[in-house]
Amino acid sequence: MRDLPSGAALLALARDVLLRELLPLLPEERRLDALLVARCMAIAEREAETGEAPERELRNLYGAGGDTDERLRRFARELRIGAFENSRDGEARARAILWRLTVAKLRRSNPEFLAANGIDQPGGVVGRAEPCPSPVSGKRSMPSPAAKSSS
């Protein structure tokens, strides 16, 4: 058991001091650097709080053998050669993992970007199994490889 406050809590506190107390004291040309430091701290804080995703789905796909990194590497290799394109089911499963992976990474590194794209809106439901972005105005979508191969 680690001592309290946790590393994540200490980072949150330190970040608060940096932004609220130290930032106003800095000369204009160094403020951007301080904001970058704050951003690094926020990422570290969120990484300390959340686990790797999407571990469960990858285990379902490949079984429990090996570690997450190995499963992820295999998944990437198989996507490269189109291994999931033969069945609609396999492809849907693969895409669901891609979404979860991406959303989980952005929750740690840039939750504001998720919100700006209509995912994880503040006050909204966080942690959907398959996040579905709201439409971006005027953007046309493209046919998926599945749509193409089945035509």
Residues engaged in binding other proteins (CB under 8 A): 29, 33, 36-37, 39-40, 43, 69, 72-73, 75-77, 79-82, 92, 94-95, 97-99, 101-103, 105-106, 109-110, 113-114, 116-117, 119, 130, 132-133, 135-146, 148-149
Question: Which of 81, 83, 84, 59 has its CA nearest to residue 70?
Answer: 59
For residues 126, 128, 130, 136, the Cα torsion angle rounded to the nearest 10 degrees is -40
Minimal distance, residue 141 CB to other proteins, in Å:
4
Minimal distance, residue 82 CB to other proteins, in Å:
5
Nearer to other proteins among residue 4 and residue 142 (C-beta) = 142
Nearer to other proteins among residue 9 and residue 77 (C-beta) = 77
> What DSSP assignment string belongs to 93-147?
HHHHHHHHHHHHHHHHH-HHHHHHTTSS-TTS----SS--PPPPTTPPP---HHH
Minimal distance, residue 88 CB to other proteins, in Å:
10
Minimal distance, residue 1 CB to other proteins, in Å:
30
| 105 neighbors 120 (Cβ within 8 angstroms) | no
Nearer to other proteins among residue 5 and residue 150 (C-beta) = 150
Query: Distance between CA atoms of 86 and 125, rounded to whole angstroms?
Result: 33
Nearer to other proteins among residue 127 and residue 135 (C-beta) = 135
Q: Is the dihedral of CA 101, 144, 112, 28 positive or negative?
A: positive
Minimal distance, residue 128 CB to other proteins, in Å:
9
